[in-house]
């Protein structure tokens, strides 16, 4: 079987499992938008982007590191306890940093109070134990955790939106934190043991070692936020509120799809660990890229239909001006997913071969070019309506750099 098909098979399973909660979350997002309105819903989107960044800090690249370096070994024995200690230290540190960020950078922003609530929610992320289930290949437990979270999230958010009719960013944030508790408790019951909370000198040595090794993973993860999410921040800074609200709808769809792409990187790592082939095959890259292009083609063939159908309860349906800009945005940003697919094998190979600093250098070059495009160019007069196009700068640059790098080292084969 071609590696591309093996990668697709594993990635589709992980994505299908995650789609349970992500699909319900997206459905609930319709009614959050209905309660909040287009502009406040955009502020809530900014809060979610902030939360995603600090979730990445809480991870600090350790989930990828454990999968790439240890695989199934990380799911049992001393390594399991040490891994949980590491991740708890990082989670507490990230919570404190998010609260400080809110105080210094979001004090006068409509998302300010929601920042503190979501910072506390970092301790009880429903996906906190996903790395454990994936490393150990505990697929049934992963599925059970996602089903449980789907049920709890649906119940709590239905109560909040339809019974209490919550219409504030901070109220929605609190509901989301409460909804995550049952799935977190399931993961804790399945994986945690009292010994996890017994820190020794050896624990701190392991944490220090892992942080030093994970640092490039963390940098690459954080640098990725110089890509798509930076466009939302640029719209918040430069664009009128109405355009920000419209952009947020397209942004949410692309971020949801981009999150699925991360699952395929994990599946590619699993495939590469099971193969001794050192070359990258253009046929595999083409097949996977074509697969993603076909899956995302509705976004650029009939974007308005997609937005109206997917956001069936949101107020944007009846706002033709906002809908037109959102359609333009999603048709542009959809090409980011194709570019992510194009470079997926390159990224997985570099992670497997531990060429971390090289990858970090590449992703930072692309990220800095993207930051320059979305923040500097609008400052010098480029219309905010062009920000969706400018947001692709990083994806195009990084994809070209990776392709040229592997071509230069003669690693590409048909």
**162 with 95, same domain?**
yes
Kindly state whether residue 393 falls inside one of the protein's structural domains: yes
Query: Of 182, 213, 244, which marks where a domain is finished?
Result: 213
Kindly state whether residue 298 falls inside one of the protein's structural domains: yes
Query: Of 166, 191, 213, which marks where a domain is finished?
Result: 213
Alpha helices in 192-302 (DSSP H): 201-223, 228-238, 241-273, 282-301
Kindly state whether residue 219 falls inside one of the protein's structural domains: no
Calculate helix-pair angle for 320-352, 393-408, nearest 10 degrees: 20
Calculate helix-pair angle for 320-352, 62-69, nearest 10 degrees: 40
Answer for the pair 92, 119: CB distance below 8 angstroms, yes or no.
no
**205 with 240, same domain?**
no
**209 with 337, same domain?**
no
Per-residue pLDDT tens for 218-260?
777 777 777 888 999 999 999 999 999 999 999 999 988 887 7
DSSP code of residue 161: I
Give the integer Cα–Cα distance in Å for 56 and 368. Answer: 19
Kindly state whether residue 262 falls inside one of the protein's structural domains: yes
Answer for the pair 207, 85: CB distance below 8 angstroms, yes or no.
yes
**207 with 232, same domain?**
no
Among candidates 141, 178, 139, 187, which has minimal Cα distance to 158? 178
Give the integer Cα–Cα distance in Å for 341 and 7. Answer: 12
Domain limits for position 234:
227-414
**pLDDT recorded at residue 225:** 72
Per-residue pLDDT tens for 286-334?
887 888 888 889 998 999 999 999 999 999 998 999 999 999 999 999 9
SS3 content of the chain, % helix, strand, coil (to 5): 85, 0, 15
**287 with 165, same domain?**
no
Answer for the pair 180, 126: CB distance below 8 angstroms, yes or no.
yes
Burial class (CB in 10 A: 0-12, 13-18, 19+), 123: middle
**How many domains, in total, are found in the chain?**
2
Give the integer Cα–Cα distance in Å for 110 and 107. Answer: 8
Kindly state whether residue 280 falls inside one of the protein's structural domains: yes
Give the integer Cα–Cα distance in Å for 253 and 255. Answer: 6
**67 with 168, same domain?**
yes
Kindly state whether residue 332 falls inside one of the protein's structural domains: yes
User: Which residues, 6 or more positions from 6, have their beta carbon under 8 angstroms from its beta carbon?
Assistant: 267, 271, 274
**180 with 248, same domain?**
no
**85 with 232, same domain?**
no
DSSP 350-382: HHHTT-HHHHHHHHHHHHHHHHIIIIIHHHTT-
**293 with 400, same domain?**
yes
Among candidates 16, 23, 24, which has minimal Cα distance to 154? 24
**395 with 355, same domain?**
yes
User: Which residues, 6 or more positions from 213, have their beta carbon under 8 angstroms from its beta carbon?
Assistant: 65, 69
Kindly state whether residue 19 falls inside one of the protein's structural domains: no
- pLDDT under 70: residue ranges of the chain: 1-21, 68-71, 74-75, 261-279, 281, 414
Pairing of strands 280-281, 412-413: parallel
**274 with 403, same domain?**
yes
Task: List residues bridging with 280 in a β-sheet.
Answer: 412
Query: Of 150, 182, 213, which marks where a domain is finished?
Result: 213
- For 262, phi and psi rounded to 5 degrees? -60, -35
**345 with 405, same domain?**
yes
Burial class (CB in 10 A: 0-12, 13-18, 19+), 197: exposed
Kindly state whether residue 28 falls inside one of the protein's structural domains: no
Give the integer Cα–Cα distance in Å for 88 and 194. Answer: 13
Calculate helix-pair angle for 282-301, 303-310, nearest 10 degrees: 70
Task: List residues bridging with 412 in a β-sheet.
Answer: 280
């Amino acid at each position: 079987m071609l590696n591309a098909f093996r990668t697709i098979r594993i990635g589709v399973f992980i994505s299908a499992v995650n789609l349970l909660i992500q699909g319900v979350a997206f459905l609930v997002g319709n009614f959050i938008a209905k309660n909040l309105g287009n502009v406040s819903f955009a502020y809530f989107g900014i809060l979610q982007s902030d939360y995603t960044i600090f979730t990445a800090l809480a991870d600090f690249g350790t989930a990828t590191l454990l999968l790439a370096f240890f695989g199934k070994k990380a799911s049992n024995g001393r390594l399991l306890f040490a891994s949980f200690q590491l991740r708890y230290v990082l989670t507490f540190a990230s919570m404190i940093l998010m609260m400080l960020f809110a105080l210094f950078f979001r004090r006068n922003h409509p998302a300010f109070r929601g920042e503190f609530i979501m910072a506390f929610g970092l301790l009880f992320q429903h996906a906190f134990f996903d790395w454990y289930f994936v490393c150990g290949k505990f697929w049934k437990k992963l599925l059970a955790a996602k089903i449980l979270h789907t049920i709890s999230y649906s119940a709590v958010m239905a109560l909040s939106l339809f019974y209490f009719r919550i219409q504030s960013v901070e109220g929605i944030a609190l509901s989301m934190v409460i909804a995550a508790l049952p799935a977190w408790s399931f993961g804790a019951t399945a994986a945690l043991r009292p010994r996890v909370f017994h820190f020794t000198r050896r624990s701190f040595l392991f944490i220090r070692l892992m942080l030093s090794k994970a640092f490039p993973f963390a940098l690459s993860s954080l640098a990725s936020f110089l890509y798509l999410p930076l466009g939302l921040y640029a719209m918040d800074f430069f664009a009128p509120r109405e355009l920000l609200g419209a952009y947020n709808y397209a942004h949410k769809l692309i971020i949801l799809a981009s999150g699925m792409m991360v699952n395929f990187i994990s599946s590619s790592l699993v495939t590469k660990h099971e193969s001794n082939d050192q070359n990258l095959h253009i046929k595999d890259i083409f097949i996977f890229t074509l697969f993603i292009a076909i899956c995302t083609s509705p976004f650029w063939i009939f974007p308005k239909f997609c937005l109206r159908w997917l956001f069936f309860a949101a107020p944007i349906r009846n706002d033709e001006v906002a809908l037109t800009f959102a359609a333009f945005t999603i048709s542009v940003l959809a090409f980011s997913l194709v570019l992510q697919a194009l470079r997926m094998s390159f990224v997985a190979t570099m992670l497997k071969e531990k060429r971390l600093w090289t990858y970090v250098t590449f992703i930072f070059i692309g990220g800095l070019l993207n930051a320059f495009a979305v923040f500097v160019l609008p400052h010098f007069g480029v219309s905010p309506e062009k920000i969706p196009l400018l947001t692709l700068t990083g994806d195009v640059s990084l994809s070209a750099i990776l392709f040229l790098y592997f071509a230069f080292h003669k690693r590409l084969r048909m």
